[in-house]
């Protein structure tokens, strides 16, 4: 009867090219009257349906480093030929395309392959698909994709990640539904830039080897490091300097130990903060974490040396000074002199004055041979300061070298 | 048969204008008997359906700065003419409007264009739409909208944001469904004021260039800064003052270093708190964060100077004082005298008394030429206090100037 | 045909009043055979359906101060007359009521008007409604309601809030569906008391002015303050006392500054804790937050005074003491004497003894005229202690007065 | 026609007792052909359907003390007689039971009565129910139940809670659907023990008084205290000891005040931790919280005494010592002597030696009459240590006594 | 009529082996025309349907230690013979398999048996199942499984867990649906390695004893300890060393007590961090927690000893030293000598020099007999340092021994 009404409609409106709802309805009724959406719409059922899948990224909602998850929003444009939905526009009042609800026709059961939720049907019951008169079907499901993405934070915050978004035709094999790619990457025309990540490259790959119809879109992203430099690296570098400052504090001030302990605890706090930012993984360790642990170890060492220093400082003057300590004192004096000679021949007068001061008592030479415990702690301060300063410098250079080379 | 029953109904109740459920039912059955909700309801299918979309904002549930997300609740009023749902009220017992479930008739597949969830159909199966006898359809879907909104916190807490709520007709192009705007902004009649944000302006824009039917509502909002002034800015200003106070503490008190370290750590804690409030973005840095980092740097500097000071303070009296330090001491004395001369000629007697005290020992002139290490630390205290105070003042003025000018 | 079978059923079972499933089924089939749930069930369609809405609160699940949200569970009892669902029990085997699934009959599209989620249909597909033979329909949808509720925490924790739960008939206007209230408040018979909030009063209001059919239930609640007194107010009062204790510590102890700083930081920590409990709003500021900020300011002041004190304390004895400081010392002595005179004439002997001690050296009068810097710091301690104690007392009295008067 | 095909089926397969799908299908079609799932399946509709409800607990997923919520998983076994689903197995190829989807037959609208979500239908569309030939229906919906449960944490961590899980037949009254209980408690055969809670008893109660059909399952649970003893109680007891240790520190050490402050802050931190574990309620206060507040108050007291002590310690020796202080010193000496006499007659020689030491100067008697301020602070240390120790002991005994007696 | 069209289709396309959609549609219509998906598809209904269930794990999304939950994603491959879906390919144009939506045919109501959500139907309405012409049905529902898994963290971070994923056929008993296993474990071909857990073994078990059809897949996993070693164990070991360092600090330094307190608090902080990582359970206690508590106890002890030490240190020199203290001093000297003798005969000269120093005053022997209080504190430092070092060592060895042996 639907066919009859179509004929009638054609008769009434004849050559006129205006399309009425009745005419469209009769065309739709006609097309779907014998349609079974369970049957693949190929005239030859031994051939696969060919899907042209392209992906338009709209925004990179977030990268969750801890749970190794990428959240993106975008839409797929899936095109195929439905050989059962063809008509002659000329004999249908010039109607060349119609819109049908997605659930009224056959569509591939394509799903997100590497998601972390149950499979969900793409699109929705209220989505329309566009059908052209030659059978071309255009389906554009918009979706928020939560995909697994292994995050390698070794070179954090200069890390580069590659995240894949995989689409699979779940029940059909490659001999029923075939995917081919029409574009060489992800369509980024509608993409709005993220404040944290820069997209460097995108890729599409249609896998050939397996029986599964699968298309893999990969997004190569690079972290914009400025925020982390500003809020994490700089405070850590500051803390590192503060560690060394312990040796600038004289033992007499009586704050050396508590100061060193405070710096140590600050490192522990920072390690905790860093750990909440990065994934729990025993396979890779961020260079930054390693740097922090070395700094912590350095800080522990500083605490030990400081405790020793304080102990020596409060040692009774009657206790004789052993050889290694004497050597340290001499080393300090040697460096001090070299420095003063190098930098300040102009300070000649000063040093003369000093000599005068010194010569009031015994000769300075003898003085140096019989150092007190106070001089020992001063020597330790001096030597430790410069050794740790060098250590700090080399560790920091190592950090940046590794990170920048690695990324 | 439905048509017949309508006729009968008309006969029975004749001129009487009372409407019975039977009459309404027959009208509805009549209208929908040949209706296909997949077909656009335009008599001439080559013309687009024209949607009149307006937006009534009910409340601004929240602005999530960290995830750059705006959550609003409100309802759309979408109006169009369904040319298939027209009837003559006179021959239908004066029925001039009917209510139909939204899923019984054609409606555009309009969706939230910049959301962060999968598209969802507006309204719900239990929603009714009002249909007037001339075909006017009135659809008022209430919705909670979660939209992406890039937050620029540069001038936090005096920042102004512009958030867009975009509605798109997804499958139809502009030649099938066209949007026009009847109002010049968002309807705020039912809006209840937020405690954090003030709406300064609203806009509507219908995009013309693309093939997509799209309407963009934009909300210009301004943060009410009082809460953040009270709870963040004031504590930070307080902390800044405390940094300078380090130089008011004499070295002898033995608390200088631990005090300075505590202030430094407090800055670090505040930086962490601020960071949890603001988005992670390497593109913009809030002036407030920059201010805090400068304060932290200042604090680090203070720690270094303090350590040096303590070192000098505990230096043996026998070590001669180098020229720059002597200069500092003289500078301090100069300032001190100028100050006392300026402010207190009335304190003449006091200073005489002081002279007496001083003259008990050597002449004060000579004293100043031969300062002790204690005087050097005092001089550093004095000079550093005022330099850092000026620095603090100018940084703070810069902060407020930038924020207020920028916003 | 359904009607016929009813007649038959009546014939067979005649006067017998036992009801079989077959009889009930035939009645139901009969009633619904020509029923269209899209049509309002009023014989005269120009009149509105009258809803009797009452609300039974079951529990107050939570008040979210930060997001200004109220979560309650309860059920509505909605009653109306469906003129199409009437029958004569006598000719229907005495059946006087039937149960029908809610989706089989017309029901108003009533929704939660001030929620923060998309509208959801009340009840569910498995709910039954009771229909009496005169057409009375009884619908009791149980629901968990999340409504917006502006929380005014000015007098926290003695605040009283008024939260509204609004129900609106969304698509119908007042001329199609009308709400009236049968009760004067919310039914609290099944309410189980909350541990935090006490319901003081409930109200119902049916709005008359607008075209919308709207019923507003308001709940007046009062916070039970004990928990917050115990866990927040008392610790804050304790902290306030500790601020003053700074001046009880002598400068010589060498812990004054770090102690004062610790107290200051504790205030900052408490401010943070309080802020996580209360909404972010620039419109109202809790008295408690203001109290805390004043205490913090006081604490800053204490730090400044302490730093000054320590500076003075370590000032060289050669520096003369200026007049204001001398005045302070005299003031202290004056108060001390007054106190001792007042309280202890019995301590006469002691003070004599003291005189003896004093007279060993110079006359005490002279002593007081030539105070040392130590005496100045003591005087500052003494005066600051009592001033701050008075300040603390008055601030605290102000806090409680404001809160209790305001609530 | 379905009936005819059944007859045919019976004819074809005659006495053979093998059941084919066709036979089962014809039986099912036959049973449901005239079935209306809206009608209660009682031959006499004036009688109620009798439900036998039993509950098998599978696991106690969690008890949320803060939101006073119990989460359990388990399944109900609901049995009733559907008088319309009966057949003779002998004339149906020996088929004695069939499986039907739950939504194909009548079932009571039983829901969770004290949940905190909207009512949800039990089971699901894919659930099958077993129907025996005598009409017995067996429905076993598995569900995760989130129920409200008022938690009384007074005796935390030795508290015992009683949580109820209430099931209500929502629309039917007791005259339409009646619940009776076949078991005396909850079926715990498949229950897997929780690591935190021990189930001590379970109960079932069918309420008789109201019109509602309601069955209440109650679970009596007892907290396993070991975890909390280990992680909360022991650290708190440790902290309490540390409070008293303040008085073991001599004033000269210069760390007394900062030590006492640290202990006080630790209590505050612990109070915060405890509060995140326990519900916010002004009606009951955990004994543990009260204990902690007392400890905090004790800690404040300690701070005040310490500040006083330090003040006294640094008082000039010229200031005379008032009577109460003298009394304290005497008290200390008295206790010291008593102790030494009691414990150590063997230390006779030592004390003689001491006497010798003492007698080198003036007589010890005189010495004690003229104590210095140092002795006063020692005395305060001594007396405060033992008083606070006793206070601590009694508070702790009170804590445990109350908790253990109460639970 | 469907049958007729099939016949026609066969006629038209005769021997040609090309399959048209019309042919497939007629086959499908034919198969399903008399199909009832409520009936088990066994020719002999007294026999059970046999399910072949295998499980392919795709990823181990997470192990939630605190809530004792395992989250995995993977898919089941469920195979059975549907005796009603068989056809002869030869008489059906060579069609040997068809794809049908899963809801169009009978399928077992298999569910996740030990989940923590309501049962959900596997697959989805858009899933297709493959049906071979001999009736073989292949259903591959992909699912994210949240299962309960009791986590035994005794040997954390060297723990090994066994988690089970149980699938149950809910309404059918073993006599209607039977499960057998075709594989010996879980299919790990598509599994992507986790960074935290290593799968050591997988198992399948089909339970025989009960009436329930149940298959249990178990995953044996082993934690990769490196991350926790790095971020938790090492900092804890560091902290342990810092505890002992207290005794390296001389009492004179005046930082001993605050340092010890800081270390104690750090332990408390770490205990809190560890507790957020591990489940709340009173049944098992991680060795690591026990180790931490022991360290804390050690730390408390250190605090007590330190307080005592400081007390003794500030004791008046006139107070005689009791015997145990004297013994300690002698013990220290003994060890010191033994050490110096053992290690440094080369330091002979030094010790001679020392003797000279000593002999300037009284004889060293006598000196040792009359030690000062300072010597006592030194002795305590020395003895406590080495005892606690030994204790620390043995505790740490015990920790590692237990953990490694246990795992």
Give residue A324's pLDDT.
84
How far from B166 is each of A57, B114, B184, B211, E137, CA to CA, in Å?
Answer: 17, 6, 15, 15, 46
Q: Which long-range contacts (CB under 8 A, 24 or more apart) does A120-127 make?
A: A120/B118, A120/E124, A121/E124, A121/E125, A121/E126, A122/A76, A124/B118, A124/B119, A124/B120, A124/B121, A125/A101, A125/B121, A126/A101, A126/B109, A126/B121, A127/A101, A127/A102, A127/B109, A127/B119, A127/B170, A127/B171
**Chain B residue with Cα closest to A348:** B322
- DSSP reduced 3-state for D133: coil
Q: What is the ipTM of this complex?
A: 0.84
How does E264-299 read in b/e, with b if 16+ C-beta sit within 10 Å? bbbbbbbbebbbebbbbbbebbbbbbbbbbbbbebb
- Looking at beta carbons, which residues of chain C come within 8 Å of D148? 59, 61, 192
- Looking at beta carbons, which residues of chain C come within 8 Å of B259? 257-258, 261
The enclosing H or E element of C34 equals none
- Nearest C-alpha neighbor of B39 from the set C375, E2, C404, A21: A21
Alpha helices in D98-251 (DSSP H): 226-228, 234-245
Give residue A14's pLDDT.
44
Q: Which residues pair with B100 in a beta bridge?
A: B129
Query: Does B44 contact A20 at a Cβ distance shorter than 8 Å?
Result: yes
Alpha helices in B278-322 (DSSP H): 287-313
- Nearest C-alpha neighbor of D204 from the set D188, D193, D219: D219
pLDDT at residue E286 tops 60: yes
- DSSP reduced 3-state for E211: coil
More confident residue, D321 or A177: A177
Separation of alpha carbons B278 and B280, rounded Å: 7
Separation of alpha carbons E177 and D128, rounded Å: 13
Pairing of β E177-180 and β E49-64: parallel
Residue E175 to chain A, least CA–CA distance (Å):
30
Q: What are phi and psi of D221, to 5 degrees?
A: -120, 155
- Looking at beta carbons, which residues of chain C come within 8 Å of D118? 120, 124, 142-144
Pairing of β D110-112 and β D160-173: antiparallel
Give residue C346's pLDDT.
43
pLDDT at residue A242 tops 80: yes
Nearest-by-Cβ selection for B226 from C40, C282, C307: C282
- Of B8-17, C2-11, C314-323, E106-115, highest mean pLDDT: E106-115
Residue E91 to chain A, least CA–CA distance (Å):
16
DSSP result, A122-154: SS-TT-EEEEETTSEEEE--EEEEEEE-----T
Separation of alpha carbons D15 and D90, rounded Å: 9
Q: Identify the residue among C170, C249, C370 best suited for mutation to test binding to B, counting B beta carbons within 10 A and taking the highest.
A: C170
Q: What is the mean pLDDT of chain C?
A: 85
- Looking at beta carbons, which residues of chain D come within 8 Å of E148? 59, 61, 192
Nearest-by-Cβ selection for B257 from A23, A129, A253: A253
Instruction: Report whether C30 contacts C6 (CB < 8 A).
Output: yes
Q: What are phi and psi of A150, to 5 degrees?
A: -75, 120
In this structure, chain D runs to a length of 407
Ranking C326-330, E23-27, E259-263 by mean pLDDT, the lowest is C326-330
Give residue E330's pLDDT.
86
pLDDT tens figures, E373-403: 888 888 999 999 999 999 999 999 999 999 8
pLDDT tens figures, C342-364: 444 444 444 444 444 444 444 44
pTM, two decimal places: 0.88
Residue B61 to chain C, least CA–CA distance (Å):
8
- Looking at beta carbons, which residues of chain B come within 8 Å of C300? 238, 241-242
Instruction: Report whether B197 contacts B222 (CB < 8 A).
Output: yes
| Residues within 8 A of C (CB atoms), B 131-170 only | 140, 142-144
Give residue D244's pLDDT.
93
pLDDT at residue D241 tops 90: yes
Separation of alpha carbons B36 and A22, rounded Å: 9
* Rg for chain E, CA atoms, rounded: 38
Separation of alpha carbons A46 and A178, rounded Å: 12
DSSP classification of residue B321: P
pLDDT at residue B182 tops 60: yes
- Nearest C-alpha neighbor of C283 from the set B224, B159, B72: B224
Q: Does E59 touch chain A (CB under 8 A)?
A: yes
Q: Does A252 touch chain B (CB under 8 A)?
A: yes
Separation of alpha carbons C354 and C343, rounded Å: 17
| Residues within 8 A of E (CB atoms), D 174-233 only | 192-193, 195-196, 224-228, 230-231
The enclosing H or E element of D222 equals strand D212-223
- Nearest C-alpha neighbor of A260 from the set A211, A290, A299, A225: A299
Separation of alpha carbons B90 and E297, rounded Å: 93
Within 13 Å, how many C-alpha atoms sit on residue A159's CB side?
Answer: 20
pLDDT tens figures, E223-255: 999 999 988 899 899 999 999 999 999 888 888
Sole residue written with tokens 């014809």? D26
- Looking at beta carbons, which residues of chain D come within 8 Å of E281? 195-196, 227
pLDDT tens figures, E317-352: 777 888 888 888 888 888 776 655 444 444 444 444
Give residue A166's pLDDT.
95
Separation of alpha carbons E387 and E389, rounded Å: 5
pLDDT tens figures, B247-297: 999 888 888 888 999 899 888 888 888 888 888 888 888 999 999 999 999
Extract the tokens encoding E237: 């070991």
Q: How confident is the model at residue E7 (pLDDT cuts 50, 70, 90)?
A: very low
Those residues whose C-beta lies under 8 Å from the C-beta of residue A199, and which sit 6 or more positions away, are: A57, A60, A188, A191, A219, A220, A221
| Residues within 8 A of A (CB atoms), B 84-103 only | 84
- Nearest C-alpha neighbor of B140 from the set C211, A223, E266, A367: C211
* CATH architecture of the domain with range E19-224: Distorted Sandwich (2.70)
- Looking at beta carbons, which residues of chain D come within 8 Å of E254? 253-255
Mean pLDDT value across residues E207-229: 90
Separation of alpha carbons D174 and D47, rounded Å: 10
Mean pLDDT value across residues D228-233: 90
Separation of alpha carbons E314 and E317, rounded Å: 9
**Chain B residue with Cα closest to C315:** B250
Query: Does A285 contact E226 at a Cβ distance shorter than 8 Å?
Result: yes
- Looking at beta carbons, which residues of chain C come within 8 Å of B234? 293
Sole residue written with tokens 């300062």? B371
In this structure, chain C runs to a length of 407
Query: Does B21 contact C38 at a Cβ distance shorter than 8 Å?
Result: no
Separation of alpha carbons A95 and A17, rounded Å: 9
CB atoms within 10 A of CB B222: 15
The enclosing H or E element of E218 equals strand E212-223
Give residue A17's pLDDT.
58
Fold of D227-321+372-406: Methane Monooxygenase Hydroxylase; Chain G, domain 1 (1.20.58)
Q: Does A387 touch chain E (CB under 8 A)?
A: no
Mean pLDDT value across residues E89-114: 93
How far from C272 is each of A64, B290, C266, E244, CA to CA, in Å?
Answer: 27, 22, 10, 35
Those residues whose C-beta lies under 8 Å from the C-beta of residue A162, and which sit 6 or more positions away, are: A218, A219, A220, A221
Query: Does A99 contact B36 at a Cβ distance shorter than 8 Å?
Result: no
Q: Which residues pair with E110 in a beta bridge?
A: E169
- Looking at beta carbons, which residues of chain D come within 8 Å of C350? 320, 322-323
Q: How confident is the model at residue A284 (pLDDT cuts 50, 70, 90)?
A: confident
Ranking A11-25, A173-187, B64-78 by mean pLDDT, the lowest is A11-25
* pLDDT above 90: percentage of residues in chain B: 57
Domain boundaries, chain A: 19-224, 227-321+372-406
Q: Does C253 touch chain D (CB under 8 A)?
A: yes
Query: Does E40 contact D224 at a Cβ distance shorter than 8 Å?
Result: no
Mean pLDDT value across residues E158-184: 92
DSSP classification of residue D278: S
Instruction: Report whether B206 contacts B179 (CB < 8 A).
Output: yes
Separation of alpha carbons E223 and E152, rounded Å: 12
pLDDT tens figures, B81-130: 999 999 999 988 889 999 999 999 999 999 999 999 999 999 999 999 99
Q: How confident is the model at residue B369 (pLDDT cuts 50, 70, 90)?
A: low
DSSP result, D286-298: -HHHHHHHHHHHH
Give residue E374's pLDDT.
83
Give residue B10's pLDDT.
43
Ranking C194-203, C279-288, C329-338, D253-262 by mean pLDDT, the lowest is C329-338
Q: What are phi and psi of B127, to 5 degrees?
A: -75, 140
Ranking A121-125, C114-118, E334-338 by mean pLDDT, the lowest is E334-338
More confident residue, E199 or E18: E199
Instruction: Report whether E139 contacts E109 (CB < 8 A).
Output: no
How far from A82 is each of A43, A48, A49, A79, A108, CA to CA, in Å?
Answer: 9, 12, 9, 10, 11
- Nearest C-alpha neighbor of E284 from the set E159, E146, E394, E147: E159
């Amino acid at each position: 009867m639907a066919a009859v009404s179509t004929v009638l409609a054609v008769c009434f409106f004849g050559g006129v090219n205006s399309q009425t709802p009745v005419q469209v309805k009769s065309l739709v009724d006609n097309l779907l009257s014998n349609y079974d959406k369970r049957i693949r719409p190929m005239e030859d059922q031994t051939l696969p349906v060919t899907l042209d899948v392209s992906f338009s990224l709209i925004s990179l909602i977030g990268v969750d480093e801890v749970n190794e998850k990428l959240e993106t929003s975008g839409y797929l444009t899936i095109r195929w030929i439905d050989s059962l939905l063809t008509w002659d526009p000329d004999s249908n009042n010039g109607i060349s395309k119609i819109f049908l609800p997605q659930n009224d026709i056959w569509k591939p059961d394509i799903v997100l392959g590497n998601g972390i939720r149950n499979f969900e049907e793409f699109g929705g019951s209220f989505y329309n698909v566009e059908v052209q008169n030659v059978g071309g079907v255009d389906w554009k499901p918009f979706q928020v994709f939560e995909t697994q993405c292994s995050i390698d934070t070794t070179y954090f915050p200069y890390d580069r990640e590659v995240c894949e978004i995989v689409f699979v035709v779940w029940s059909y094999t490659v001999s029923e539904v075939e995917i081919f790619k029409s574009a060489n990457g992800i369509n980024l025309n509608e993409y709005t830039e993220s404040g944290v990540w820069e997209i460097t490259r995108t890729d599409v790959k249609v896998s050939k080897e397996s029986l599964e119809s699968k298309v893999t879109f990969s997004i190569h992203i690079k972290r914009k490091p400025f925020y982390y430099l500003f809020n994490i690296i700089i405070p850590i570098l500051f803390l590192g300097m503060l560690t060394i400052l312990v040796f600038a504090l004289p033992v007499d001030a009586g704050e050396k130990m508590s100061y060193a302990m405070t710096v140590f605890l600050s490192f522990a706090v920072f390690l905790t903060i860093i750990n909440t930012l990065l994934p729990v993984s025993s396979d890779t360790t961020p260079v930054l974490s390693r740097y922090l642990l070395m700094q912590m170890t350095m800080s522990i060492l500083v605490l030990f040396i400081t405790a020793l220093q304080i102990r020596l400082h409060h040692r009774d003057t009657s206790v004789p000074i052993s050889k290694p300590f004497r050597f340290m004192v001499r080393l300090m004096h040697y460096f001090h002199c070299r420095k003063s000679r190098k930098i300040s021949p102009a300070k000649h007068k000063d040093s003369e004055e000093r000599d005068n001061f010194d010569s009031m008592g015994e000769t300075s030479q003898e003085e140096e041979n019989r150092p007190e415990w106070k001089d020992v702690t001063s020597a330790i301060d001096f030597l430790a300061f410069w050794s740790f300063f060098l250590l700090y410098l080399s560790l920091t250079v190592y950090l940046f070298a590794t990170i920048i080379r690695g990324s």
